[in-house]
Amino acid sequence: MQSTDLKTALDARKAGWAEKASDEIKRIYTEGIDDVENSGILASAKQTGDTAPGFSLQNATGKAVSLSEYLEKGPVVLTWYRGGWCPYCNITLRHLQQALPDIQAAGAQLLALTPELPDKSLTTQEKNELSFEVLTDKNLSVAKEYGIVFKLIDEVGEVYRKNFSLLEYNGNDSDELPLAATYVIQPDGKITYAFLDAEYRNRAEPADILAAL
């Protein structure tokens, strides 16, 4: 069993950030989260009961991987992460890796999607010692089909650019990102669990995913 649940680890990271961040940065990030919350994306995204759009994407080593081939084996846990630059994503990926044996014991497979280019996603995969597939959702084409893409407000985009380059990570400068959404998809393509949150530091708890399986 993992020593801490995911929420505890995420909250600890958030608290550490809050101690160091300026009031101005906190204001900007809060406004960014509020903008996502008010956009209507949480209601318009794919929900429990919807049919999951199919896709075929390249993994970190360039091999094509399709949702349909995994659904032939059983349920699929489909999760998006923003990028290896996001500490909350890395924490989440490591917890999902810890939960992977339980996910597989429930007869399911785990697929992670990211706008990161394959070179970057391979680095993320190796850094976090992930043994599940990490697929490049270039230009967020699949995320758009699931309705989970939003555009950063200008101030957040400027803060990000001061620290790292989304263009370098994603191959475009659209300032678009996916919600950190997680779905459980049954072999018939039906979504039976959907985690959607405007607050990017909140993530689907592995225990909740397992309960949905």
92 pLDDT higher than 80? yes
Beta strand spans in the chain (E): 56-59, 64-66, 76-80, 109-114, 133-136, 149-151, 176-178, 182-185, 191-195
* CATH code of the domain covering residue 193: 3.40.30.10
Q: How many domains does the chain have?
A: 1
pLDDT > 70 fraction of the chain, expressed in percent and rounded: 98
Strand partners of residue 112: 79, 134
Nearest to 121 by CA among 59, 40, 209: 59
Question: What SS3 class is residue 30?
Answer: helix
In a domain? residue 138: yes
pLDDT > 90 fraction of the chain, expressed in percent and rounded: 95
In a domain? residue 21: yes
- Residues 3-20, mean pLDDT to the nearest whole number: 91
pLDDT tens across 173-192, in order? 899 999 999 999 999 999 99
pLDDT tens across 47-59, in order? 999 999 999 999 9
pLDDT tens across 93-149, in order? 999 999 999 999 999 999 999 999 999 999 999 999 999 999 999 999 999 999 999
1 pLDDT higher than 50? no
61 pLDDT higher than 70? yes
Lowest mean pLDDT among 144-148, 166-170, 196-200: 166-170
In a domain? residue 1: no
Q: What is the pLDDT of residue 60?
A: 87
What rounded mean pLDDT belongs to the chain? Answer: 95
In a domain? residue 51: yes
The range of the structural domain enclosing residue 163 comes to 6-212
In a domain? residue 156: yes
DSSP symbols for 123-162: HHHHHTT--SEEEE-GGGHHHHHHT-EEE--HHHHHHHHH
